Structure 1
């Protein structure tokens, strides 16, 4: 039971980091698109 809890906690932490990384990538892509649009205007 404790092993399962440890494994699940590790998986949750890993998924949280991956989620935050994905959000950061999307934010950076949006920022790049905004900069490109500003140059084109």
Structure 2
């Protein structure tokens, strides 16, 4: 499973969509806080 840093990097490069990030959140690879950080959501 990919880790937070890889998911964030791939999202920033455009290799992942918001849906992909949410799927990794659902799978438990990242926390909700990490997902929000990747997507640039405050909170």
TM value normalised by structure 1 = 0.29
Structure possessing the higher relative contact order (Cα contacts under 8 Å, 6 or more residues apart): 2
Larger proportion of helix:
1
